Structure 1
Amino acid sequence: MKKIFVAAIILTTAISCSKSFLEREPIDRKVEETFYKTPQDALEALVAAYDELQYGDYDNIQLVTEIASDDCFGGGGESDIPWKRWDRFENDNNTNLNNWTKYYTGIYRANIVLSKMDGVNWGSDTTLKTRYLAEAHFLRAYYYFDLVRMFGNVPLVTTPLSPGQYNVPQATPEAVYQLIASDLKFAAANLPAIAYSGIPAAEYGRVTKWAAEALLGRVFLYYTGYYGQNDIAGTVTKQEARTYIDDVVNASGYTLIDSFPRLWQSALSRFAGEDNAETVFAIKFTYKGLGDWNKHDGNRMQVMIGFRNDAVPPYYKGWGAGPVNPKLWEAYETGDTRRAASIISVEAEGLSYPAIYPQKTGFMWKKYMPMMALKAEDYNGDFQIDNFYDYVAIRFADVLLMGAELNLDGDLGKAQQYYNRVRDRAFLDQNHRRTLTPGAAGKKLIMDERRFELALEGQRYWDLLRQGVPVAKQAIDNSSSDAQFNVSFRPETKGLFQIPQQELNLSSGSLKQNAGWNQ
């Protein structure tokens, strides 16, 4: 008899209560023949599909792509080789294996949900069935989007595979993006249109119609930019993308928090809190793994960026990954509240931090930095694996900037309005507005704004690539008198990551390595 493992995640943190949607006791082992029969079975399977969102350690995609961008270096200690290789675009056969595994595990679990819902006894009310299907479609799209951005040429799997079916050939990116767009359209059409104020607190972290529409906008901008297309593989047009984003802006109830620094836990008592009105979609974390390395309940990326070797109050300790490039600090305008809220300047904050390690710059992440006052040990957790700050995957400010970009050649007045809202909040006045114009000049203003607004949130590398490989290379290349900071983007890779050698070896020739990674 086939066995299935249904994982569950616990989403309660010390900062925010009532995260009960995914608070389920872990399921050990159930027989497939007697499972997928009740709505409760279906929910447990859906929770397992959500669970994979939490996975990621030193190779978390947010951290990896920030290191690969122009805004961060590799950092860490002498033995932390993968970070330095991502920074310098160097070969390393299996550096990306965990990400490849993570995303295909998530896709498999979403496919299980999609394939089993017709066998569940829903009774006379199929509302739950429709919602669970929509959430599973969103999750599959989310996993595939990260996967295809990283690797470009990936197998397209839409049903659970059995032994003997694993050597699936690589699909064209067009086919993968067509599936992503179709999945998100289904999710947007079938998830309830509940405004932010009406979402039960117990369901924060659960996919919404607004998250699906916002992600569709992100997918549209990346695919059309990176591949030079006018629409997403004949599935979503630019006007449709505009409509989706405008709907999030006008109907979702999400809005900007009054002060940018209050978005981050480093604000401490002034922190607006998780699940605030700017959080369109977040990946939830908790300290409740309580030091169990077999669980992935905590935000393990946080310890990676912590102050290496020791705590530097008010900030807590970690491994010193992703030191911030001083060029990012210097690029902010005077008066921009986002600079000191996004980046820690050891000098500007008067901190004592004599530790020495490779690529130390004196600038570190403030967003997502573990804090002395909010550390896992205070709740009997382990500082390495039980940090509990949620990752905000889609923020309303990002939605506004996507709307400005999409409307730049359509409704310039609307584009300006969206852009102004972000600028006004950043400077706390209306004196720093800039006038958008159609074409390259207006696009550059928006892309610059995205860099400052979304710094260290995992968007910069993709924003560079979708402007073209030459733009990415010009930004990422770094020349220094200190050789450890020399970086040269390799355009022959087209910004794609190295497919793990283990997967190539196991594929019996069905997988081919991406260009630029064969040497």
Structure 2
Amino acid sequence: MKNIRSNIIAAGILCLSLGMTSCTKGFLDVESKTESTTGNFYKTEQDAYRALLGCYDGYRRATCGSAVNFLVSAEVMGYECFGGSGASDGNGMRVTDRFDLSEMPSSTGSSWSGYYAGIYRCNELITRENSIQWNETGSMHTQYMAECHAIRAFLYFDVVRQFGNIPLLTKPTDENIPQADPADVYKLIFDDLKFAIENIPANAYPKAESETNDGKITKYACEAILARAYLYYTGYYGQEPEGVTKADALAAVEDIISSGQYALIPEYRRLWPAACAQKAEVGDMTTLYGDYAGDGNNEIVLTVKCTASVNWSGLDGNRWQVNIALRTSTGVAPYAQGWGYATVNPKFVEEYEDGDTRRTASVIDIKGEGLEDNQLVQTCIVQSQEYTGYYIKKYAPLAFADGTHAGMENGTGNLMISNHQDYVQVRYADVLLMAAELGSPNAQQYFNMVRERAFKDKDGNTSPLYTEKQATKENIMRERQFEFAFEGINYYDLLRQGIDYAAAQLAKQNGVEVMTAGAPATISFNPQNFINKAGLMMVNTNQILLSDGVLKQNPGW
């Protein structure tokens, strides 16, 4: 049986991939005289490069092209955030937040189609490799293919963590297949990553040249994801993966450290545009961004690049930023307006230690920042679900002093499509903490580097409130929670510590007071709902219908 879902994806790739296909009424019957098609395209190394750019584009669309992406869903499922959104929006975000379909029985669940569209592009290039006439001298053959394999691994790693039970496609096919054993998916992920590590030269994209190569996949990015995937697999599934050992994972992150390519930005706040933002007149981007360390700074190991867009079909920007912004009718400088998703749990905010600068760098504190009496914010409270007075700052979109959106320098940006903050996938701080967790001889040093940085001011002085802690597993995991809050990492850190442990942590949300439609409300979380679903998301019911029941719903949903 052919899968309607896959046919739609296949046609979409033919139409969307970098203009490579003329998508006219009869394009399947008539060979284009002016455009490339999959039948006549994959011939030269330049064609391969264009196809690789299509894979990068597919990766960006999957991670940044939807309203509720991997990061937003991870934050809502985790302890740090609630569902939020508007008072009149329905309870769709509560389904995700509370693992409870009864909150909105009509919910169909999140779709994985964007990820499989990106995977399709990678599979297409991998399958066509031997039909390409690669350059005889100076060929980039091996590196291009290595980057393609890496992108496929990144995409699969996101999907398998979210849904657990997913189809494993290694060819550009419309075949309708059942979900694979997660162990087989991880074997492909590790095989792809190892191939990329072995075949992307260490000097392919030097960090010193990040102004021109930022966003490209390096050997070191693949090593970081390999370690992250190893830690997740062994924690969540309680067994060793095929083909990768703990020693391999440690060697991978130690190689990143010894490369000398990366370093911690001295002041944590400077990693995030909104944490550095100042009130600025329209067009004054220098004042607006303040002392932001910049895209591609020395701490960034892997990032997804986004660009401002005024094109609704372009999908070049960061489409989920608007959803986590303040739910106001215009910007409240320096923060732009949005839809109020993923409101921050005040209980988590209270858990930061005194002197830890990560709190103010990570969280918009409406009262603490003097915004509580702003009329726009008062309206926001009435229009919001699960309003807490706290929002995610790390990815908050920005506005000029008059409230206009700052996606475009001239103030003509659109709040929905002109957000363009890069989506940071891996920071050097994560590399250091993973190395410590994996048992590096330098574990204490690495742990101290990350923790002490959090207590430093702009002049590099360490707060007297700083205390050194031992680099135990418990302390490392606790430090990760504050270091990587609102980066889409902490929920999966919870899962890899065990379902029962994660359920107990999430249950601490119970009884937290919030405001919905301006009225007091309390959070109610049943940990058994989470346990029954093993922390996995609901497979989209439309995907199951399109597969004629070949795809199965995750247990508990």
TM-score normalised to the size of structure 2? Answer: 0.83
The answer on 1:403 being equivalent to 2:435 is yes
Deviations 1:19-63 (A, max 9, x none): xxxxxx744532222201112211111111111223333221100
Structure-1 residue corresponding to 2:523: 485
Report 1:79-158 matches (<5 A): 79-91=89-101, 95-98=108-111, 100-125=112-137, 127-158=139-170
Following TM superposition, by how much is the alpha carbon of 1:115 offset from its aligned partner in structure 2, in angstroms?
0.9
Calculate the aligned-residue CA RMSD, in Å. 2.0
Following TM superposition, by how much is the alpha carbon of 1:454 offset from its aligned partner in structure 2, in angstroms?
0.4
2:349 to 316, 329, 343: 329
Output the CA distance in 1 between the equivalents of 2:210 and 2:298. Answer: 13
Output the CA distance in 2 between the equivalents of 1:251 and 1:377. Answer: 37
Q: Note if contact 1:377-1:383 (Cα within 8 Å) is conserved in structure 2.
A: no
CA 378–435 in structure 1, closer or farther in 2 if over 3 Å, else same: closer
2:431 partner letter: V
Output the CA distance in 2 between the equivalents of 1:341 and 1:68. Answer: 22
1:473 to 503, 519, 536: 503
Output the CA distance in 2 between the equivalents of 1:130 and 1:239. Answer: 26
1:73 to 79, 82, 89: 82
1:308 to 301, 322, 327: 327
Q: Note if contact 2:165-2:181 (Cα within 8 Å) is conserved in structure 1.
A: yes
The answer on 1:463 being equivalent to 2:493 is yes
1:53 partner letter: Y
2:482 partner letter: F
Structure-1 residue corresponding to 2:394: 367
Following TM superposition, by how much is the alpha carbon of 1:197 offset from its aligned partner in structure 2, in angstroms?
3.6
Report 1:385-424 matches (<5 A): 385-407=417-439, 411=440, 413-424=441-452
2:350 alignment partner, SS class: helix
Following TM superposition, by how much is the alpha carbon of 1:503 offset from its aligned partner in structure 2, in angstroms?
1.6
2:313 to 269, 294, 303: 294
Q: Note if contact 1:260-1:425 (Cα within 8 Å) is conserved in structure 2.
A: yes
Output the CA distance in 2 between the equivalents of 1:141 and 1:415. Answer: 28
2:14 to 5, 24, 29: 5
Output the CA distance in 1 between the equivalents of 2:493 and 2:290. Answer: 33
Structure 2, unaligned runs of 5 or more: 1-9, 23-35, 277-288, 457-461, 514-519
Q: Note if contact 2:236-2:495 (Cα within 8 Å) is conserved in structure 1.
A: yes
Output the CA distance in 2 between the equivalents of 1:329 and 1:366. Answer: 12
Structure-2 residue corresponding to 1:436: 470
1:40 to 46, 49, 69: 46
Output the CA distance in 2 between the equivalents of 1:218 and 1:333. Answer: 26
Output the CA distance in 2 between the equivalents of 1:27 and 1:511. Answer: 31
Following TM superposition, by how much is the alpha carbon of 1:237 offset from its aligned partner in structure 2, in angstroms?
0.2
CA 126–256 in structure 1, closer or farther in 2 if over 3 Å, else same: same
Q: Note if contact 1:155-1:171 (Cα within 8 Å) is conserved in structure 2.
A: yes
Output the CA distance in 2 between the equivalents of 1:131 and 1:171. Answer: 29
Structure-2 residue corresponding to 1:19: none
1:235 partner letter: G
Q: Note if contact 2:109-2:541 (Cα within 8 Å) is conserved in structure 1.
A: no
CA 483–177 in structure 1, closer or farther in 2 if over 3 Å, else same: same
Following TM superposition, by how much is the alpha carbon of 1:137 offset from its aligned partner in structure 2, in angstroms?
0.6
Q: Between the two proteins, what is the percent identity of the paired residues? A: 41
CA 348–377 in structure 1, closer or farther in 2 if over 3 Å, else same: same
1:5 alignment partner, SS class: helix
1:510 partner letter: V
Q: Note if contact 2:167-2:179 (Cα within 8 Å) is conserved in structure 1.
A: yes
Tell me which moved more, 469-478 or 334-343: 469-478
Q: Note if contact 1:265-1:271 (Cα within 8 Å) is conserved in structure 2.
A: yes
Output the CA distance in 2 between the equivalents of 1:484 and 1:50. Answer: 42
Deviations 1:133-191 (A, max 9, x none): 101111110111111111111111111104xx2x1121111111011011001111111
Report 1:22-61 matches (<5 A): 26-29=19-22, 30-55=36-61, 56-61=65-70
Following TM superposition, by how much is the alpha carbon of 1:500 offset from its aligned partner in structure 2, in angstroms?
1.0
Deviations 1:197-249 (A, max 9, x none): 444532211110010000001000000000011x32x2100001000010011
CA 191–433 in structure 1, closer or farther in 2 if over 3 Å, else same: farther
CA 369–399 in structure 1, closer or farther in 2 if over 3 Å, else same: same
Output the CA distance in 1 between the equivalents of 2:423 and 2:91. Answer: 25
The answer on 1:62 being equivalent to 2:93 is no
2:291 to 255, 270, 274: 270
Deviations 1:247-286 (A, max 9, x none): 0111151110010000010212110000100111111111
1:90 partner letter: D
Q: Note if contact 2:120-2:171 (Cα within 8 Å) is conserved in structure 1.
A: yes
Deviations 1:400-450 (A, max 9, x none): 11111111xxx4x4111110110111112386353436xxxx111011100
The number of equivalent residue pairs is 484
1:215 partner letter: I
Tell me which moved more, 310-319 or 337-346: 310-319
Structure-2 residue corresponding to 1:382: 414
2:474 alignment partner, SS class: helix
Q: Note if contact 2:75-2:342 (Cα within 8 Å) is conserved in structure 1.
A: yes
2:419 alignment partner, SS class: coil
Output the CA distance in 2 between the equivalents of 1:455 and 1:81. Answer: 24
Deviations 1:110-137 (A, max 9, x none): 1111111221111213641111110111
Output the CA distance in 2 between the equivalents of 1:275 and 1:6. Answer: 31
Output the CA distance in 2 between the equivalents of 1:475 and 1:117. Answer: 47
Structure-2 residue corresponding to 1:13: none
The answer on 1:178 being equivalent to 2:187 is yes
Q: Note if contact 1:264-1:271 (Cα within 8 Å) is conserved in structure 2.
A: yes
Report 1:240-255 matches (<5 A): 240-255=248-263
2:268 partner letter: F
Q: Note if contact 1:94-1:502 (Cα within 8 Å) is conserved in structure 2.
A: no
Structure 1, unaligned runs of 5 or more: 9-24
Output the CA distance in 2 between the equivalents of 1:308 and 1:155. Answer: 37
Output the CA distance in 2 between the equivalents of 1:372 and 1:447. Answer: 35
